[in-house]
Chains A and B, each alone.
Chain A
Amino acid sequence: MDKLEHRIKKAFESSDKKTSFAGKEQMWSRLDSEMHGRKGVAAFWRIAAVFLGLLLTLGVVASLNYRANQRAEMENVKHDITRLQLLVDSLQTMPTQVRTEVQVVEKEKVVYRNRVVESNVQDETIKWQQNYQQAMDSMQTIQKLNAALKAEIETLNEELIALKNQAESESPEPSQSTNPFELKSERVELGPQQKPDLSNPEMELKIFPRNFNETTNNLNKTLFKK
Protein backbone atom coordinates (compact mmCIF):
# COMPACT_ATOMS: atom_id res chain seq x y z
CA MET A 1 0.00 0.00 0.00
CA ASP A 2 2.94 2.34 0.67
CA LYS A 3 3.86 1.99 -2.95
CA LEU A 4 0.39 3.02 -4.00
CA GLU A 5 0.51 6.10 -1.82
CA HIS A 6 3.92 6.99 -3.12
CA ARG A 7 2.69 6.62 -6.68
CA ILE A 8 -0.33 8.71 -5.96
CA LYS A 9 1.84 11.45 -4.49
CA LYS A 10 4.12 11.39 -7.53
CA ALA A 11 1.10 11.46 -9.81
CA PHE A 12 -0.34 14.50 -8.06
CA GLU A 13 3.00 16.30 -8.04
CA SER A 14 3.44 15.79 -11.75
CA SER A 15 -0.15 16.80 -12.28
CA ASP A 16 0.36 19.96 -10.25
CA LYS A 17 3.35 20.85 -12.37
CA LYS A 18 1.33 20.45 -15.51
CA THR A 19 -1.61 22.42 -14.25
CA SER A 20 -2.12 25.83 -15.80
CA PHE A 21 -4.53 28.26 -14.30
CA ALA A 22 -6.58 29.87 -17.04
CA GLY A 23 -7.92 32.77 -14.99
CA LYS A 24 -4.45 33.84 -14.00
CA GLU A 25 -4.62 37.41 -15.37
CA GLN A 26 -8.11 38.00 -14.07
CA MET A 27 -7.11 36.89 -10.63
CA TRP A 28 -4.02 39.10 -10.73
CA SER A 29 -6.09 42.14 -11.73
CA ARG A 30 -8.44 41.37 -8.84
CA LEU A 31 -5.52 41.04 -6.44
CA ASP A 32 -3.83 44.13 -7.82
CA SER A 33 -6.95 46.24 -7.52
CA GLU A 34 -7.54 44.94 -4.01
CA MET A 35 -4.02 45.73 -2.91
CA HIS A 36 -3.93 48.99 -4.86
CA GLY A 37 -7.20 49.98 -3.25
CA ARG A 38 -5.72 49.31 0.16
CA LYS A 39 -2.66 51.27 -0.82
CA GLY A 40 -4.94 54.09 -1.93
CA VAL A 41 -6.57 54.15 1.47
CA ALA A 42 -3.17 54.07 3.09
CA ALA A 43 -2.01 56.89 0.84
CA PHE A 44 -5.08 58.93 1.80
CA TRP A 45 -4.32 58.49 5.49
CA ARG A 46 -0.70 59.31 4.84
CA ILE A 47 -1.68 62.55 3.12
CA ALA A 48 -4.17 63.29 5.89
CA ALA A 49 -1.48 62.71 8.51
CA VAL A 50 0.92 65.01 6.66
CA PHE A 51 -1.80 67.66 6.37
CA LEU A 52 -2.63 67.37 10.07
CA GLY A 53 1.05 67.58 10.95
CA LEU A 54 1.34 70.69 8.81
CA LEU A 55 -1.66 72.22 10.52
CA LEU A 56 -0.21 71.38 13.92
CA THR A 57 3.12 72.94 12.96
CA LEU A 58 1.39 76.07 11.68
CA GLY A 59 -0.59 76.26 14.90
CA VAL A 60 2.54 76.01 16.99
CA VAL A 61 4.30 78.67 14.90
CA ALA A 62 1.26 80.95 15.11
CA SER A 63 1.07 80.55 18.88
CA LEU A 64 4.79 81.30 19.20
CA ASN A 65 4.39 84.43 17.06
CA TYR A 66 1.41 85.54 19.10
CA ARG A 67 3.38 85.05 22.28
CA ALA A 68 6.31 87.06 20.89
CA ASN A 69 3.95 89.88 19.87
CA GLN A 70 2.39 89.88 23.31
CA ARG A 71 5.83 90.12 24.87
CA ALA A 72 6.76 93.06 22.63
CA GLU A 73 3.51 94.76 23.52
CA MET A 74 4.18 94.19 27.20
CA GLU A 75 7.62 95.73 26.79
CA ASN A 76 6.06 98.78 25.13
CA VAL A 77 3.54 99.12 27.92
CA LYS A 78 6.31 98.85 30.52
CA HIS A 79 8.28 101.50 28.65
CA ASP A 80 5.23 103.78 28.64
CA ILE A 81 4.70 103.17 32.35
CA THR A 82 8.32 104.12 33.07
CA ARG A 83 8.02 107.26 30.96
CA LEU A 84 4.81 108.26 32.71
CA GLN A 85 6.40 107.54 36.10
CA LEU A 86 9.29 109.85 35.20
CA LEU A 87 6.80 112.51 34.12
CA VAL A 88 4.94 112.19 37.39
CA ASP A 89 8.21 112.43 39.33
CA SER A 90 9.23 115.56 37.41
CA LEU A 91 5.86 117.12 38.06
CA GLN A 92 6.17 116.30 41.73
CA THR A 93 9.53 118.09 41.92
CA MET A 94 8.07 121.33 40.50
CA PRO A 95 7.45 124.41 42.84
CA THR A 96 4.91 123.64 45.50
CA GLN A 97 1.44 124.82 44.99
CA VAL A 98 -0.40 126.73 47.67
CA ARG A 99 -3.96 125.79 48.00
CA THR A 100 -6.18 128.45 49.44
CA GLU A 101 -9.41 127.16 50.77
CA VAL A 102 -12.19 129.64 51.12
CA GLN A 103 -15.21 128.59 53.09
CA VAL A 104 -18.39 130.40 52.29
CA VAL A 105 -21.45 129.83 54.40
CA GLU A 106 -24.67 130.60 52.69
CA LYS A 107 -27.88 129.93 54.55
CA GLU A 108 -26.36 127.28 56.75
CA LYS A 109 -24.98 125.58 53.73
CA VAL A 110 -21.23 125.12 53.48
CA VAL A 111 -19.77 125.75 50.12
CA TYR A 112 -16.12 125.14 49.49
CA ARG A 113 -14.28 126.91 46.80
CA ASN A 114 -10.89 125.78 45.98
CA ARG A 115 -8.63 128.27 44.43
CA VAL A 116 -5.20 127.30 43.42
CA VAL A 117 -2.69 130.09 43.53
CA GLU A 118 0.61 129.30 42.08
CA SER A 119 3.41 130.75 44.09
CA ASN A 120 5.71 132.78 41.96
CA VAL A 121 9.20 133.68 42.96
CA GLN A 122 9.17 136.69 40.65
CA ASP A 123 6.07 138.09 42.38
CA GLU A 124 7.76 137.66 45.74
CA THR A 125 10.78 139.58 44.50
CA ILE A 126 8.63 142.39 43.17
CA LYS A 127 6.78 142.49 46.46
CA TRP A 128 10.07 142.74 48.33
CA GLN A 129 11.28 145.44 45.98
CA GLN A 130 8.09 147.38 46.52
CA ASN A 131 8.45 147.03 50.27
CA TYR A 132 12.04 148.15 50.04
CA GLN A 133 11.06 151.15 47.94
CA GLN A 134 8.34 152.00 50.43
CA ALA A 135 10.79 151.72 53.29
CA MET A 136 13.23 154.00 51.48
CA ASP A 137 10.49 156.53 50.87
CA SER A 138 9.52 156.41 54.53
CA MET A 139 13.16 156.88 55.48
CA GLN A 140 13.42 159.96 53.27
CA THR A 141 10.24 161.37 54.79
CA ILE A 142 11.61 160.72 58.25
CA GLN A 143 14.89 162.42 57.32
CA LYS A 144 13.03 165.41 55.96
CA LEU A 145 10.93 165.57 59.10
CA ASN A 146 14.05 165.23 61.21
CA ALA A 147 15.72 168.04 59.31
CA ALA A 148 12.65 170.23 59.77
CA LEU A 149 12.61 169.42 63.48
CA LYS A 150 16.30 170.25 63.76
CA ALA A 151 15.71 173.56 62.02
CA GLU A 152 12.84 174.29 64.40
CA ILE A 153 15.01 173.38 67.37
CA GLU A 154 17.66 175.77 66.14
CA THR A 155 15.10 178.51 65.68
CA LEU A 156 13.76 177.89 69.15
CA ASN A 157 17.24 177.91 70.57
CA GLU A 158 17.87 181.18 68.87
CA GLU A 159 14.64 182.57 70.30
CA LEU A 160 15.60 181.20 73.67
CA ILE A 161 18.97 182.85 73.49
CA ALA A 162 17.32 186.08 72.48
CA LEU A 163 14.87 185.88 75.39
CA LYS A 164 17.70 184.98 77.69
CA ASN A 165 19.63 187.97 76.55
CA GLN A 166 16.57 190.08 77.00
CA ALA A 167 16.08 188.69 80.46
CA GLU A 168 19.66 189.26 81.36
CA SER A 169 19.48 192.74 80.17
CA GLU A 170 16.35 193.34 82.26
CA SER A 171 17.51 191.61 85.48
CA PRO A 172 19.95 193.58 87.80
CA GLU A 173 21.79 190.54 88.98
CA PRO A 174 22.98 188.38 86.33
CA SER A 175 22.55 184.83 87.05
CA GLN A 176 25.67 182.86 87.70
CA SER A 177 24.46 179.81 85.97
CA THR A 178 23.84 179.70 82.32
CA ASN A 179 20.85 177.39 82.67
CA PRO A 180 17.74 179.41 83.39
CA PHE A 181 15.88 176.30 84.55
CA GLU A 182 18.43 175.17 87.04
CA LEU A 183 16.85 173.64 90.05
CA LYS A 184 18.12 174.29 93.48
CA SER A 185 17.57 172.13 96.43
CA GLU A 186 15.79 174.45 98.76
CA ARG A 187 13.65 173.61 101.62
CA VAL A 188 10.64 175.82 101.99
CA GLU A 189 8.67 175.72 105.13
CA LEU A 190 5.20 176.70 104.73
CA GLY A 191 3.25 178.01 107.65
CA PRO A 192 -0.37 177.38 108.33
CA GLN A 193 -2.76 178.19 105.52
CA GLN A 194 -4.34 181.56 105.86
CA LYS A 195 -7.16 183.22 104.22
CA PRO A 196 -5.89 185.09 101.21
CA ASP A 197 -5.88 188.77 101.57
CA LEU A 198 -7.81 190.22 98.77
CA SER A 199 -6.95 193.84 98.80
CA ASN A 200 -8.02 194.30 95.21
CA PRO A 201 -11.81 193.96 94.91
CA GLU A 202 -11.62 193.47 91.08
CA MET A 203 -9.60 190.37 91.49
CA GLU A 204 -12.13 189.01 93.91
CA LEU A 205 -14.77 189.76 91.43
CA LYS A 206 -13.04 187.85 88.71
CA ILE A 207 -12.56 184.78 90.69
CA PHE A 208 -15.79 184.70 92.55
CA PRO A 209 -18.33 186.70 90.65
CA ARG A 210 -21.18 188.29 92.43
CA ASN A 211 -24.25 186.34 93.25
CA PHE A 212 -22.26 183.13 93.22
CA ASN A 213 -24.90 180.71 94.29
CA GLU A 214 -23.82 177.43 92.79
CA THR A 215 -23.41 174.59 95.15
CA THR A 216 -20.97 172.70 92.93
CA ASN A 217 -17.66 174.21 92.29
CA ASN A 218 -16.90 173.94 88.60
CA LEU A 219 -13.42 175.26 88.29
CA ASN A 220 -13.29 175.09 84.51
CA LYS A 221 -16.39 177.08 84.25
CA THR A 222 -15.13 179.50 86.77
CA LEU A 223 -11.70 179.90 85.36
CA PHE A 224 -12.33 180.07 81.63
CA LYS A 225 -15.57 181.96 81.72
CA LYS A 226 -15.07 185.51 80.59
Chain B
Amino acid sequence: MQLEKLIHKVIKGDRRAQKLLFDKYVDRLFAVARRYAVNDELAEDALFQAFMKIYTKLPEFEYINEPALVGWLTRIVINQTLMDRRKELSTLYKVETLDEERHESSWIEEMDDGALIDLVNELPDGYRTVFLMNVVDGYAHKEIAELLGISESTSRSQFFKARQFLQKKLAQDYGQAGT
Protein backbone atom coordinates (compact mmCIF):
# COMPACT_ATOMS: atom_id res chain seq x y z
CA MET B 1 0.00 0.00 0.00
CA GLN B 2 1.29 3.44 -0.84
CA LEU B 3 2.27 5.52 2.13
CA GLU B 4 0.11 8.47 1.10
CA LYS B 5 -2.99 6.25 0.82
CA LEU B 6 -2.13 4.70 4.14
CA ILE B 7 -2.00 8.13 5.77
CA HIS B 8 -5.29 9.04 4.11
CA LYS B 9 -6.91 5.94 5.56
CA VAL B 10 -5.43 6.64 8.98
CA ILE B 11 -6.94 10.13 8.85
CA LYS B 12 -10.32 8.58 7.94
CA GLY B 13 -10.06 6.44 11.07
CA ASP B 14 -9.32 3.12 9.41
CA ARG B 15 -8.24 0.86 12.24
CA ARG B 16 -6.22 -1.45 10.01
CA ALA B 17 -4.30 1.45 8.49
CA GLN B 18 -3.56 2.81 11.94
CA LYS B 19 -2.10 -0.55 12.92
CA LEU B 20 0.01 -0.66 9.74
CA LEU B 21 1.43 2.79 10.40
CA PHE B 22 2.15 1.87 13.98
CA ASP B 23 3.94 -1.35 13.01
CA LYS B 24 5.94 0.43 10.33
CA TYR B 25 7.46 3.11 12.57
CA VAL B 26 7.13 2.00 16.16
CA ASP B 27 10.62 0.40 16.40
CA ARG B 28 12.42 3.39 14.99
CA LEU B 29 10.44 5.81 17.09
CA PHE B 30 10.98 3.73 20.18
CA ALA B 31 14.73 3.99 19.55
CA VAL B 32 14.37 7.77 19.32
CA ALA B 33 12.37 7.90 22.52
CA ARG B 34 14.84 5.68 24.34
CA ARG B 35 17.66 7.96 23.21
CA TYR B 36 16.20 10.89 25.12
CA ALA B 37 14.40 9.18 27.94
CA VAL B 38 16.08 8.23 31.21
CA ASN B 39 14.93 4.63 30.90
CA ASP B 40 12.87 2.30 28.68
CA GLU B 41 9.74 2.65 30.79
CA LEU B 42 9.68 6.43 30.38
CA ALA B 43 10.50 5.97 26.72
CA GLU B 44 7.47 3.73 26.32
CA ASP B 45 5.22 6.23 28.04
CA ALA B 46 6.53 9.02 25.87
CA LEU B 47 6.10 6.88 22.78
CA PHE B 48 2.50 6.07 23.68
CA GLN B 49 1.65 9.74 24.16
CA ALA B 50 3.52 10.56 20.96
CA PHE B 51 1.44 8.06 18.94
CA MET B 52 -1.76 9.52 20.36
CA LYS B 53 -0.60 12.93 19.13
CA ILE B 54 0.41 11.46 15.77
CA TYR B 55 -3.06 10.02 15.15
CA THR B 56 -4.68 13.26 16.29
CA LYS B 57 -2.43 15.65 14.36
CA LEU B 58 -1.98 13.58 11.22
CA PRO B 59 -4.77 15.48 9.34
CA GLU B 60 -2.62 18.63 9.78
CA PHE B 61 0.41 16.95 8.18
CA GLU B 62 1.02 17.64 4.53
CA TYR B 63 2.56 14.59 2.92
CA ILE B 64 5.58 15.20 0.67
CA ASN B 65 7.68 12.02 0.96
CA GLU B 66 8.62 9.38 3.50
CA PRO B 67 11.72 11.16 4.95
CA ALA B 68 9.54 14.17 5.69
CA LEU B 69 7.01 11.93 7.41
CA VAL B 70 9.75 10.20 9.41
CA GLY B 71 11.18 13.57 10.41
CA TRP B 72 7.73 14.76 11.50
CA LEU B 73 7.13 11.59 13.52
CA THR B 74 10.60 11.77 15.09
CA ARG B 75 10.11 15.35 16.16
CA ILE B 76 6.79 14.51 17.78
CA VAL B 77 8.42 11.67 19.72
CA ILE B 78 11.40 13.81 20.77
CA ASN B 79 9.18 16.69 21.82
CA GLN B 80 6.99 14.35 23.85
CA THR B 81 10.01 12.71 25.50
CA LEU B 82 11.65 16.01 26.31
CA MET B 83 8.39 17.50 27.55
CA ASP B 84 8.42 15.02 30.38
CA ARG B 85 12.01 15.93 31.24
CA ARG B 86 11.96 19.65 30.61
CA LYS B 87 12.01 20.73 34.27
CA GLU B 88 14.68 18.19 35.07
CA LEU B 89 16.86 19.21 32.11
CA SER B 90 16.50 22.95 32.65
CA THR B 91 18.22 22.63 36.04
CA LEU B 92 21.16 20.81 34.49
CA TYR B 93 22.23 23.64 32.27
CA LYS B 94 24.25 26.66 33.35
CA VAL B 95 25.06 29.64 31.25
CA GLU B 96 28.59 28.99 30.11
CA THR B 97 30.63 30.02 27.16
CA LEU B 98 33.36 27.98 25.67
CA ASP B 99 35.88 28.57 22.97
CA GLU B 100 35.28 26.24 20.14
CA GLU B 101 38.01 23.78 19.53
CA ARG B 102 38.12 21.64 16.46
CA HIS B 103 39.87 18.29 16.50
CA GLU B 104 39.76 15.92 13.61
CA SER B 105 40.85 12.28 13.57
CA SER B 106 40.86 9.67 10.83
CA TRP B 107 40.49 6.63 13.07
CA ILE B 108 36.90 7.54 13.97
CA GLU B 109 35.71 5.99 10.73
CA GLU B 110 36.95 2.65 11.86
CA MET B 111 35.18 2.68 15.23
CA ASP B 112 32.38 0.26 16.02
CA ASP B 113 28.81 1.64 16.08
CA GLY B 114 28.14 0.14 19.47
CA ALA B 115 31.29 1.65 20.91
CA LEU B 116 30.33 5.07 19.61
CA ILE B 117 26.83 4.80 21.04
CA ASP B 118 28.21 3.67 24.36
CA LEU B 119 30.61 6.57 24.29
CA VAL B 120 27.77 9.02 23.74
CA ASN B 121 25.69 7.38 26.40
CA GLU B 122 28.49 8.03 28.88
CA LEU B 123 27.94 11.76 28.45
CA PRO B 124 26.22 13.59 31.29
CA ASP B 125 22.49 13.83 30.67
CA GLY B 126 22.40 17.54 29.83
CA TYR B 127 25.31 17.30 27.40
CA ARG B 128 23.99 14.13 25.84
CA THR B 129 20.54 15.53 25.08
CA VAL B 130 21.84 18.65 23.39
CA PHE B 131 24.50 16.66 21.55
CA LEU B 132 22.05 14.04 20.25
CA MET B 133 19.48 16.64 19.26
CA ASN B 134 22.03 18.59 17.32
CA VAL B 135 24.12 15.79 15.82
CA VAL B 136 21.76 12.86 15.38
CA ASP B 137 18.35 14.50 14.95
CA GLY B 138 19.53 17.70 13.29
CA TYR B 139 18.00 20.32 15.58
CA ALA B 140 19.48 23.79 15.46
CA HIS B 141 20.57 25.37 18.73
CA LYS B 142 17.66 27.78 18.54
CA GLU B 143 15.18 24.90 18.33
CA ILE B 144 16.96 23.02 21.09
CA ALA B 145 16.78 26.11 23.28
CA GLU B 146 13.06 26.45 22.64
CA LEU B 147 12.34 22.80 23.26
CA LEU B 148 14.39 22.54 26.42
CA GLY B 149 13.46 25.97 27.76
CA ILE B 150 17.04 27.23 27.83
CA SER B 151 18.93 29.96 26.05
CA GLU B 152 20.61 29.37 22.72
CA SER B 153 24.07 30.13 24.16
CA THR B 154 23.53 27.53 26.86
CA SER B 155 22.63 25.01 24.19
CA ARG B 156 25.84 25.83 22.34
CA SER B 157 28.01 25.62 25.47
CA GLN B 158 26.41 22.30 26.40
CA PHE B 159 27.14 21.01 22.95
CA PHE B 160 30.82 21.98 23.10
CA LYS B 161 31.18 20.58 26.57
CA ALA B 162 29.80 17.32 25.23
CA ARG B 163 32.41 17.45 22.49
CA GLN B 164 35.19 18.08 24.99
CA PHE B 165 33.96 15.22 27.10
CA LEU B 166 33.98 12.87 24.13
CA GLN B 167 37.49 14.00 23.12
CA LYS B 168 38.79 13.36 26.62
CA LYS B 169 37.10 10.01 26.71
CA LEU B 170 38.53 9.02 23.35
CA ALA B 171 41.99 10.17 24.44
CA GLN B 172 41.74 8.11 27.59
CA ASP B 173 40.36 4.98 25.97
CA TYR B 174 42.10 5.07 22.66
CA GLY B 175 44.92 7.60 23.13
CA GLN B 176 44.12 9.14 19.76
CA ALA B 177 41.92 12.11 20.54
CA GLY B 178 42.78 15.33 18.85
CA THR B 179 45.05 13.66 16.33
Seen from chain A, the residues whose Cβ lies within 8 Å of a Cβ on chain B are 1-5, 7-17, 19-21, 23-24, 27-28, 30-32, 34-35, 39
B52 partner, pick from A5, A14, A15, A34, beta carbons under 8 A: A34
- Distance, CA A28 to CA B28, complexed state (A): 15
Answer whether residue B116 sits at the interface, using C-beta atoms and an 8 A cutoff.
Answer: yes
Look across to chain A and name the residue whose beta carbon is closest to the beta carbon of B43. A21
Q: Given that A3-B105, A27-B44 are known contacts, is A8 also in contact with B26, CB under 8 Å in the complex?
A: no
Judging by beta carbons under 8 Å apart, are B113 and A5 in contact? no
Judging by beta carbons under 8 Å apart, are B47 and A7 in contact? no
Seen from chain B, the residues whose Cβ lies within 8 Å of a Cβ on chain A are 13, 15, 18-19, 22-23, 26-28, 30-32, 34-35, 44, 47-48, 51-52, 55, 102-106, 108-109, 111, 113-114, 116-117, 119-120, 132, 135-136, 163, 166-167, 170
Look across to chain B and name the residue whose beta carbon is closest to the beta carbon of A13. B136
Interface of chain A, main secondary structure: helix
- How far is the CB of A119 from the nearest CB of chain B, in Å? 95
Interface of chain B, main secondary structure: helix
Q: Given that A31-B22, A35-B55 are known contacts, is A9 also in contact with B104, CB under 8 Å in the complex?
A: no
- Distance, CA A3 to CA B28, complexed state (A): 24
Judging by beta carbons under 8 Å apart, are A9 and B135 in contact? yes
A12 partner, pick from B22, B136, B167, beta carbons under 8 A: B136
A7 partner, pick from B18, B52, B55, B111, beta carbons under 8 A: B111
- How far is the CB of A97 from the nearest CB of chain B, in Å? 89
- How far is the CB of B98 from the nearest CB of chain A, in Å? 13
A15 partner, pick from B26, B109, B113, B119, beta carbons under 8 A: B113
- How far is the CB of A112 from the nearest CB of chain B, in Å? 94
